[in-house]
Amino acid sequence: MNVKVLIVDSHGSFAENTKFLFSMEPQIETVEIVKNGGECLDFVRQSPPDVVLLDIHLNDGNGISLIEQIQRIAPTVKIILMTECNQEGYVIAAKNKGADGVIIKDLHIREVVQVILKVMDGGTYFYQSPLAFPKNQIDIDDIHFPVKPVEILEKILTPEEKEIMRLLTKRLSNKQIASILGVSTRVLSERINIILLKFGVNTKLEAVLTWPFVEP
């Protein structure tokens, strides 16, 4: 049984490519590509698909506000939201509106199929945002940041990550550090995110404050 997917995307070539990629997947049947919200609602009203792959940015509004309208017409239709960038706000908003999944647009096509199948099984998929905005108020003037034990840091950090931390404590900006290390700012920010995950903190400041090595 094929899953009938409706692609709602204003970006013509991207949508066509999605359809093309789905054509190689046997489980997925692309029923139609529609360019905007109005067409989407019309289509859903006439022949509801199984899954609506909904782009967040449409010509006539944004996908998030469309979620409720689709569900009102066809409550059984599963909705997966596509975003260009990795932002927590979208995930939260989509969850609140009742979407079944949020994916980033450059996700590997196989993974997209997996997500669709998972959603069809009644599951949900929301990509993991690397950081969440701190929910609890932290007073940094008050709180004491325990310095990480040196041996643990030795274990969890690679030499390159240590070098990044050393540069960070020198109060250099990301751009400066990236040019010192000869990597792009994207790569650097990804690495910093990894360091933060290893430290178990949310912000750069926390990481710097718990860093035990202070250079003169």
Partner 1 sequence: MWNKLINRQIYYIASIFFIVLGLVYFIACLEHPYIGTDLKNNRGSWLVTGSDPHGAGYQSGIRVGDQILKIDGMDPEKFNSSQKWGLLERARTIDFCKADSLAVQQITIENRLDWIKVLSDAPLVILGFVFWFVGFITWYKRPFLKEVRLLFWLLWLFALAIVLAHPSGRYLPLAKELEYITFSLVAVMLIVFTSSFPLNSRTTSTGFKITAVCFTIIIMLTILQSLGFIHLQDVLRKLALSNMIIGILFSVWNLCKVLALPKDRPEKNEAAIVFLGIIIGFMPNILYVALPQIFNLQQFLTEVSYLFLSAIPFSLYYVIINKYLPDSRRVYKTIITNFLAAFILSIIVHYFLYLGKIIKIVSAESYLATFVLCLLFFVCFYLLRLIISKLLERFSFFQTNISLKHRVTELNNSITSLICEDHIFEEAIKKLGIDGVFIIVENAQTGCLRKAVGRFRKNHQEQSELEAYFRRNQKQDLEARFLSDNCPAEIFVPFVSDNSTCGIFFGHRYSHIKFEKSELPFLTLLAGQLAYEVLMLLVIGDLTKEINNLTLTSWCSRRRNWELQGITNSLIRMIEQDRGSLSKELLDGPVHSALDISRLLKILEKENLGDDTTQQVVSRIRNQINDLNYDLNQTVHNLRPPVLSDLGLIPAIQSLSQDIMLREPNFIILETEGIELNDRFAEDVEIAAYRFIQKGIFNSLRYSGSKKQTVRIKLSGEKLELTVKDNGQGFDPDQLEKGLLGGAHYGLAIMKERIESLGGQMLISSGFQRGTTLKATIPVY
Smallest separation, CB 66 to partner 1 (Å): 12
With CA atoms as reference, report the closest residue to 81 among 94, 98, 69, 71. 94
Smallest separation, CB 183 to partner 1 (Å): 9
DSSP code of residue 213: -
∠ at Cα 175 (194, 87), nearest 5°? 50
What's the gap between Cα 110 and its chain centre? 17
| Cβ–Cβ < 8 Å for 131, 193 | yes
Residue 118 interacts with partner 1 (CB under 8 A)?
no
Residue 180 interacts with partner 1 (CB under 8 A)?
no
Site pattern 133..162 for partner 1 (x: CB under 8 A): x---xxxxx---------------------
The only residue of 73, 74, 92, 117 in contact with partner 1, by rule CB under 8 A: 92
Q: In Å, what is the CA distance from 53 to each residue of 5, 83, 137, 183?
A: 7, 11, 37, 35
Site pattern 10..29 for partner 1 (x: CB under 8 A): xx-xx--x---x--------
| Cβ–Cβ < 8 Å for 29, 6 | no
Closest to partner 1 by CB, 74 or 104: 104
Which residues, at least 6 apart from 60, have a Cβ–Cβ distance to it below 8 Å? 36, 37, 38
Rg, the chain, Cα only? 22
Closest to partner 1 by CB, 74 or 209: 209
Site pattern 39..78 for partner 1 (x: CB under 8 A): -----------------xx----x-x--------------
Distance CA 207, CA 214 (A): 13
Closest to partner 1 by CB, 2 or 59: 59
Q: Which residues bind to partner 1, rule: CB under 8 A?
A: 10-11, 13-14, 17, 21, 56-57, 62, 64, 84-85, 87-90, 92-93, 96, 105-110, 131, 133, 137-141, 168, 171, 173-174, 184-187, 189, 192-193, 196, 202-205, 208
